Structure 1
Amino acid sequence: MPWRTKEASSPSSANPSPEALQSPSSRGNMADKLKDPNTLGFLEAAVKISHTSPDIPAEVQMSVKEHIMRHTRLQRQTTEPASSTRHTSFKRHLPRQMHVSSVDYGNELPPAAEQPTSIGRIKPELYKQKSVDGDDAKSEAAKSCGKINFSLRYDYENETLIVRILKAFDLPAKDFCGSSDPYVKIYLLPDRKCKLQTRVHRKTLNPTFDENFHFPVPYEELADRKLHLSVFDFDRFSRHDMIGEVILDNLFEASDLSRETSIWKDIQYATSESVDLGEIMFSLCYLPTAGRLTLTVIKCRNLKAMDITGYSDPYVKVSLLCDGRRLKKKKTTIKKNTLNPVYNEAIIFDIPPENMDQVSLLISVMDYDRVGHNEIIGVCRVGISAEGLGRDHWNEMLAYPRKPIAHWHSLVEVKKSFKEGNPRL
């Protein structure tokens, strides 16, 4: 046979060992010893040391090699999936898994014998999907603050808006016992002085309030009012926890208020009560040929009261920003003792057309104080780098040159990172 010829011509056969010169009967006895497991383990270790070891006859080496190959084939048959379809699924979800059939152990010993396994039947995507669904459910539960049911009706004879808080449903638990002690605060914005609230209901997540609240307000002012409901959890020994809030911007959204209408609203997650700072209306107009930008401050409404009198002394400051740095600033006149000032004042900046995509405007509504520092009531920003309406207003101005474009903008609080030298919202 070829392997015999190769073995005979190999360098190792030039110096045969005494064991290699034994009689055929001795070789037969050695082959019979292969059936003994203890002897087989010793010989396998010897084969691992060297393929051409002079201490082991060639016939023994080949017998051991054949036994190893038979053992390897048996191991492969045991661990491979029974179905080709399942095997394909397994490879798809575990792409880095090494296929058993592609392993070549050569003349080395195979790994320790493994118990038959059903790994081919496992579908890892089921476990992954389960964890993802669990995370989604957890996040949704964290954001879910329940619902509140209330009704609105306007009393034309007494010029009073009647708000009836009916009930709440599926509130989150704020106490260690898995319950809450909820109550509701009611405001008719922008007036925060008139604050009304329901009774506290102990240890329930589905309280029934059924209480009426009256807000005197002329009918023509209803369009500018907002209903603000804040749901709290009462705590006798510490600060009350806020569960969430509901803000109804348009009181005529559900009905014309001539008859009582029941309304269901989702309670929005909040950790503190939202502060309505008011709104400002201004127009933007750009002349490309002259490189002139005109901002006309028209008026403000429902500004936050900053003085003890319940009013403010507001003026508007407009800053021209470039790459986060203030280049220029201009101001309007001061309007005394009002929350709804009217200005109709134009502020002009000279900006070349090629620099329009690098600048933005920061509009700050300030409260003038004769003694001390002037306070910021709220701000808004317009420009390419602004967000929401601020960006849309700027783009609309550029799309219609030489035409004044006016919009109402809500004022927002200045972020803590806002500094005079780094005026970023």
Structure 2
Amino acid sequence: MGPCESPQSACQHLWSSPSLYASFGLLLGVFVVCGLALLGLLAFVSWKLCRVPWRTKAHFPGPSPTPACDPELCLLQPPLLLPSPQQPAVTMATEKVKDPMGSMGFLETAVKISHTSPDIPTDVQLSMREHFLRRTQRMQRQATEPASSTRHNSFKRHLPRQMQSTSLDLGNDYVVDNDEKPTSIGRIQPELYQQKTLESEDSSKNGSSKNCGRINFSLKYDYENEALMVNILKAADLPAKDLCGTSDPYVKVYLLPDRKKFQTRVHRKTLNPTFDESFQFPVPYDELAIRKLHMSVFDFDRFSRHDMIGEVVLDNLFETSDLSRETNIWRDIQYATSESVDLGEIMFSLCYLPTAGRLTLTVIKCRNLKAMDITGYSDPYVKVSLICDGRRLKKKKTSIKKNTLNPSYNEAIIFDIPPDSMDHVSLHISVMDYDLVGHNEIIGVMRVGCHAEGLGRDHWNEMLAYPRKPIAHWHPLLESKKSEKEWKARTASFDSQGSCPSPRPPASP
């Protein structure tokens, strides 16, 4: 608008523009279309609402001239009495009900008999019988048990409770057609299945907690010979492993992590054997704190593999007994299906620097590794893999130590991981046996991370709680197959969250 133009001339100029007319026409068209749509919707809803009563009237034209009474109400109504005190009145009512499965049938709601005198004339009985036979020929009836009443006790004696008979005995005069079928047959009773389910759950719980008996032994340390004396005395209440209801038990004794083992004699056909055998394990007194006493109870079988009954493991010998004098000990035998294998242990430290985004794993040493060569030794090295949501991002290895089961490394392995990725990564540590010819064998594995279990998770959380400080722990090695199955089960839920990016060092300021 120019400086000399008035507001009225400016408004006339705007209304006279063709673009304004086009927009106004478009807006008016939108309003018209919306109005027509609303009118159509209202008409459709009203048509639907009016159509429902018409359908109801089509299926149910109107009430019957003689409305049928409810079965329960009919049973509660008092019986009609005849004016004459010598004539009984018998009232029968039938009602046509809809079967839940879609079948239609006639259901007799009640058969009511009222006696005003104990003696009924013979002619009245004959007329009632003829009337009843004519009625049964016209319609199919189904008898139901009448309501409990002192007046109908004589009738209830002839009517079975479970409706298993096909005819009713009403004084040997009234006969009901054999086509009648009780309504209770064929119906599912959930309470029966629930009871069986509870019984099966109880039996499964009782079966899972098997009784493996008890074992009696004694411990004493011989300071002169620097040896641990283990005396296997007896066992009691062992489970039967043979068909004759007995077992042939014997005991294997280990002082882990040493591979040397002792075995008792086999006692034939008994569940309460008395061994009374002593074994001597040479071990310095200072090493008793890190030793484990392992006793495995087996059932001897001449023609097949020996069955394992159970085992007893003592982790701390000093807490179990006073080794300075002989102590008698009873222990429950724990159920086990296979003998546990000791693969050795690995010691390493973890240190994380949040500002630099650097994780340092220092492999310190291993001890009591499993011998993989025929010489009784191994050529071990350690391989560390960085895992993110089930995918291996990086792997690094230590040097190889020849012909030893207790190698020392003191080698650091560094990974660059930003702080925001620490909740998604973990470390897979494998102790391998180097083989010049053929492939390298896995001695044992373990995992550490926030998604690991047991000591691996605790070690990781302690590292995060104390940054910039090396945290060292011993970790037992596990079998590769068992560890892989557990790891896949734990990482299966992480795959749905998407893959995480490769850890990169934080950007420099």
Superposed pair shares fold, TM > 0.5:
yes
Distance 2:284 2:418 in 1: 49
**CA RMSD for the aligned pairs?**
3.3
Deviation at 1:158, TM superposition (A): 1.5
Q: Residues 279-318 of structure 1: matches in 2 within 5 Å?
A: 279-318=345-384
Q: Residues 10-409 of structure 1: matches in 2 within 5 Å?
A: 36-37=128-129, 39-44=131-136, 46=138, 75-77=146-148, 132-140=201-209, 143-192=210-259, 194-409=260-475
> Letter of the aligned partner of 1:326 in structure 2?
R
Distance 2:442 2:489 in 1: 13
After superposition, give the CA deviation of every residue in 1:150-201 in whole Å (9 maximum; x if it has no partner): 1111111112211100111111111000000101111222222x32111111
Alignment partner of 2:456: what SS? helix
Deviation at 1:309, TM superposition (A): 2.8
Give the TM-score of the pair, scaled to structure 1: 0.70
Distance 1:291 1:41 in 2: 98
Deviation at 1:269, TM superposition (A): 1.9
> Letter of the aligned partner of 1:138 in structure 2?
G
Give the TM-score of the pair, scaled to structure 2: 0.59
Whether the 8 Å CA contact 1:379–1:413 is kept in 2: the answer is yes
How many residue pairs were aligned?
335
Alignment partner of 1:393: what SS? helix
Larger Rg: 2
Whether the 8 Å CA contact 2:445–2:483 is kept in 1: the answer is no
Whether the 8 Å CA contact 2:446–2:483 is kept in 1: the answer is no
Deviation at 1:315, TM superposition (A): 1.4
Corresponding residue number in structure 1 for 2:55: none
Distance 2:333 2:134 in 1: 76
Deviates more, 1:410-419 or 1:232-241: 410-419
> Letter of the aligned partner of 1:148 in structure 2?
I
Distance 1:34 1:291 in 2: 106
Alignment partner of 1:222: what SS? helix
Percent of pairs identical after alignment? 74
Which structure is higher in RCO with an 8 Å CA cutoff and minimum separation 6? 1
Deviates more, 1:162-171 or 1:391-400: 391-400
Distance 2:140 2:445 in 1: 80
Deviation at 1:281, TM superposition (A): 1.6
Distance 1:226 1:276 in 2: 11
Deviation at 1:34, TM superposition (A): 9.1
Whether the 8 Å CA contact 1:34–1:40 is kept in 2: the answer is no
After superposition, give the CA deviation of every residue in 1:117-155 in whole Å (9 maximum; x if it has no partner): xxxxx9998877655444433332xx3211111111111
Distance 2:382 2:335 in 1: 33
Distance 1:232 1:77 in 2: 66
Distance 2:388 2:201 in 1: 44
Deviates more, 1:267-276 or 1:393-402: 393-402
Whether the 8 Å CA contact 1:325–1:423 is kept in 2: the answer is no
Query: Structure 1 183/351 Cα, relative in aligned 2: closer, same or farther at 3 Å?
Result: same
Alignment partner of 2:147: what SS? helix
After superposition, give the CA deviation of every residue in 1:18-49 in whole Å (9 maximum; x if it has no partner): xxxxxxxxxxxxx9689634632541553669
Query: Structure 1 208/338 Cα, relative in aligned 2: closer, same or farther at 3 Å?
Result: same
After superposition, give the CA deviation of every residue in 1:205-234 in whole Å (9 maximum; x if it has no partner): 111111111122222222222212111111
Query: Structure 1 112/264 Cα, relative in aligned 2: closer, same or farther at 3 Å?
Result: same
Distance 1:253 1:172 in 2: 29
Runs of 4+ off more than 4 Å: 31-35, 111-115, 122-132, 416-419, 422-425
> Letter of the aligned partner of 1:268 in structure 2?
Q
> Letter of the aligned partner of 1:170 in structure 2?
D
Runs of 5+ in structure 2 lacking a partner?
A: 1-64, 67-90, 92-123, 150-179, 185-190, 492-509
Query: Structure 1 258/417 Cα, relative in aligned 2: closer, same or farther at 3 Å?
Result: closer
> Letter of the aligned partner of 2:451 in structure 1?
S
Whether the 8 Å CA contact 1:75–1:113 is kept in 2: the answer is no
Whether the 8 Å CA contact 1:284–1:295 is kept in 2: the answer is yes
Query: Structure 1 414/424 Cα, relative in aligned 2: closer, same or farther at 3 Å?
Result: farther
Query: Structure 1 77/46 Cα, relative in aligned 2: closer, same or farther at 3 Å?
Result: same
Distance 1:239 1:274 in 2: 16
Distance 2:483 2:466 in 1: 34
The yes-or-no answer on 1:413 pairing with 2:476 is no
